[in-house]
Amino acid sequence: VNVLRIHHVAFASGPADEPLGGHLDLLGLTCVHVEQGAGFVERMAPAGEGYLQLLEASGGRDVVSRFVERRGAALHHVAFEVDDIDGAIGELLAAGVRMIDAAPRPGGMGARIAFAHPSSFGGLLVELLEEGPSPTSSSS
Amino acid sequence: VNVLRIHHVAFASGPADEPLGGHLDLLGLTCVHVEQGAGFVERMAPAGEGYLQLLEASGGRDVVSRFVERRGAALHHVAFEVDDIDGAIGELLAAGVRMIDAAPRPGGMGARIAFAHPSSFGGLLVELLEEGPSPTSSSS
């Protein structure tokens, strides 16, 4: 697996929480992208080459809401960008890693993503992410 | 506050845990730096311009061990690199942020660091970090 960078670190909070206590701007960070997921809204705030991802759970029975119910607002996962997500998943499966997603699925911002089960990484929820074609590269 | 990048994201585990289930290498990551902290060992694995930091708690009464006792192995904090940590702390204090460290203290790899209290950032433990002089820049 060839990890290019930490693409984002995700912090999950509940529907009644103000993400980061409303203090994201104090860190000089700004959300540049908002997207609706399955049971959550994700907001992306760039910091250097990576992002802080704010997951706002809907409060339903989806996986992010259950995490927040159990843990409170907390860091949720780390997404590593890879150059070849299909190859990376194959390598992890061959090594005996339990994948939540055994094949890539669509993620935010046009990326292809796959989660590994935290039991395979000592409790860390690892996301693999391969970026989609950028708007500029498709026009060149 | 001028955040330059996510310097590291820290994952804490206990003395009996194998960090990341012993599978760090499966992600193509390698620890390049090991340092003893107050009640923990920290290991730094580069990923792009940032690091995954593995905190191995001693199992004593220090803050990292108590976190792991309460939460299990889990993501612990995010460190944002800033260009001026004294100025950044001043800005946060002026905005009413509760700082764990009201003045910078020495961190790993020669950095100066300061933690904000998670209550000020909706539950996220934020570390500010200003890098120390690099070995190369001091010789130039």
| Contact: A75, B76; criterion CB under 8 Å | yes
Token representation of residue B64: 């990292």
Chains A–B, number of C-beta pairs less than 8 Å apart:
140
Q: Rounded to 5 degrees, what are φ and ψ at A129?
A: -145, 130
ipTM beyond 0.85?
A: yes
Q: Touching check for B113 and chain A: CB below 8 Å?
A: no
Are A110 and A132 contacting, i.e. CB atoms less than 8 angstroms apart? yes
> Which of B17, B29, B97 lies closest to A122 in CB terms?
B17
Q: Which residues in chain A touch residue B91, judged by CB atoms under 8 angstroms apart?
A: 26
Taking the CA of residue B140 and the nearest CA in chain A, the distance in Å comes to 26
Are A41 and A19 contacting, i.e. CB atoms less than 8 angstroms apart? no
| Contact: A47, B21; criterion CB under 8 Å | no
Q: Touching check for B32 and chain A: CB below 8 Å?
A: no
Are B64 and B55 contacting, i.e. CB atoms less than 8 angstroms apart? yes
> Which of the residues A2, A4, A23 would you substitute to probe the B interface, choosing the one with the greatest number of B C-beta atoms within 10 Å?
A23
The one-digit pLDDT tens for each residue of chain A (140 residues) are 999 999 999 999 999 888 898 899 999 999 999 999 989 999 999 999 999 999 999 989 999 999 999 999 999 999 999 999 999 999 999 999 999 999 999 999 999 999 999 999 999 999 999 998 876 544 33
What are the strands of the beta sheet with A3-13, ordered from one edge? A33-36, A40-47, A50-57, A3-13, A74-82, A126-130, A112-115, A105-106
3-class secondary-structure state, position B98? coil
Q: Touching check for B50 and chain A: CB below 8 Å?
A: yes
Please state the pTM of the whole predicted model.
0.94
| Contact: B3, A75; criterion CB under 8 Å | no
